[in-house]
Amino acid sequence: MQKGQYNIDLVTEKEKIKSLDKKKSTSGETNKEESKMSEIPEDILDPFCDPKNPQKISFHDVTSAAFLIKEGIERTPCPRSTTSDSYGMDLYLKKDFLQYTGSFKERGARYALLSMSSEQKQAGVISASAGNHAQALSYHGWKLNIPITVVMPKTAPIMKIQKCRNYNATVIIEGRDMAEAKAMALKISQEKQLLYINGYDHPQIIAGQGTIGLEILEQVSNPDAIIIPVGGGGLIAGIATVIKALSPKTKIIGVESEKCPSFSRAIENKGPIYTPIKNTLADGLAVPKVGYNAFITALPLIDKMVVVREEWIALAILRLVEEEKCVVEGAGASGLAAILAGQLNELKGKKVVCLLCGGNIDTTVFGRCLERGLAAEGRLVKFVAEVSDRPGGIQELCEILSSLGVSIKDIMHERAWLRDIYTVEVKVVCETRDWEHSMQLKNNLKKHYQKVQFSELPLAINADVWLSGRK
């Protein structure tokens, strides 16, 4: 690993958190949790991720990782997508969500654990994570007999917390977000002499994730491009290091959600910078500030960064279930989302590998994603119609829907706010075969009712083409 330098505008996470806290305290919004967090010193530095001495990961680091972890990690498949032709690409899907704990994070976690001294292995390690890194570390720590402590923020999904406990890790639930959980984990690491392993910026974590790149090149010859989801930047940094060393013509494309574009902001800023994040379907990518080692390694190797809208991520999750029979979480589906959104049209006709890197999605979130995906594609439609309040009025509406083969998901009616006391407003959510079927429904209802209003045009439909009456 080499030391490197770049121009960093140091707006640190901590400064930002401080200013947010100040805003809250002036608004009188304080609680027990905040006073507890304020006891955590703010200047604990992770010695492996030093902003002033960032480390560049080398090809040699990744091959060392590949050698060391080959026993404990799955070599995941990378088949051609069954719907490759519909995207106009020769598309391959690297299914790293098929690792035991459901994500690629095991690669880096196992390598970091195996690289420790025997004293450190005995003492154990600590990390902060909302999910995939915590599970990977807990599982491999358990298998290698290394005590693991993970600090998870209060927002971490219950399923992921429980999984870590099942893998015998000590789980501490602390902090309102990842930044606070991390501060707590660093404090405990100092007090208890535990090694802190950052999930996206520890050099061995980055090297371990890079082993995916070696596998891809063995499985798909001469790919034109590889699409990689980006959170803290460790995954793309590791893979890009391998790909640019062995196949320099292959384009490296990073994808972020619009709700947490911290790598794109870091590029603009010429260094990692705190980027406020919002709730996202791609919770694995929700890192407010990318890693210093990851950034300096990945920056010169990335050919393009794409920021996708959340609806496309929902649609990608739906497509992967329906077409590929893969359950993939939002972060893992964001590469396909960028293709669906038409943001990578220059790859048409090319051989492309899309990384599906995680499958840990909450069942409730999964359900909501499928619904949003259906809505984005125009297959789940919502409309309001004013129908006669006389006996048989609502029945007539149901008969129209039934005759068209439209399935009602939800129906509700109200009268109190209508001017005409002989009408009733009916709100319907229904499922259609496709957008064309939805249009048929719309035209039919317009013929029958004076007042009928549909929810807006679905995202996945080219509005100009539809509005001009052509398909």
Binding site for ligand PLP (CB under 6 A): 103, 132-133, 200, 229-236, 284-285, 287, 329, 331-332, 357-358
- Cβ proximity to ligand PLP: between 223 and 229 the closer is 229
Q: How far is the CB of 401 from ligand PLP (least distance, A)?
A: 39
Q: How far is the CB of 327 from ligand PLP (least distance, A)?
A: 12
Q: At what angle do helices 203-219 and 59-69 cross, to 10 degrees?
A: 80
- Cβ proximity to ligand PLP: between 111 and 449 the closer is 111
- Cβ proximity to ligand PLP: between 287 and 336 the closer is 287
Q: What share of the chain is helix, strand, coil (3-state, %, to 5)?
A: 45, 15, 35
Q: How far is the CB of 199 from ligand PLP (least distance, A)?
A: 6
- Cβ proximity to ligand PLP: between 121 and 289 the closer is 289
Backbone phi, then psi, for 295, in 5-degree steps? Answer: -65, -50
Rounded-to-integer distance, Cα 459 and Cα 95, Å: 27
CA angle 363, 97, 247 (to 5 degrees): 150
**Under 8 Å between Cβ of 305 and 299:** no
Q: How far is the CB of 29 from ligand PLP (least distance, A)?
A: 30
- Cβ proximity to ligand PLP: between 153 and 332 the closer is 332
- Cβ proximity to ligand PLP: between 137 and 441 the closer is 137
Cα 330 from chain centroid (whole Å): 4
125 three-class SS = strand
Residue with tokens 């603009």, as numbered in its chain = 268
- Cβ proximity to ligand PLP: between 39 and 268 the closer is 268
The per-residue DSSP string of 46-109 comes to: -TTS-TTS-EE--HHHHHHHHHHHTTTS-----PBPTTGGGGTSEEEEEEGGGSTTSBTHHHHH
Q: How far is the CB of 211 from ligand PLP (least distance, A)?
A: 13
Burial 5-24 (b: 16+ CB within 10 A, else e): eeebeebebeebbeeeeeee
Q: How far is the CB of 285 from ligand PLP (least distance, A)?
A: 6
Cβ-closest position to ligand PLP? 358
- Taken in order 55, 56, 59, 65, is the CA torsion positive or negative? positive
Q: How far is the CB of 236 from ligand PLP (least distance, A)?
A: 6
Rounded-to-integer distance, Cα 258 and Cα 314, Å: 13
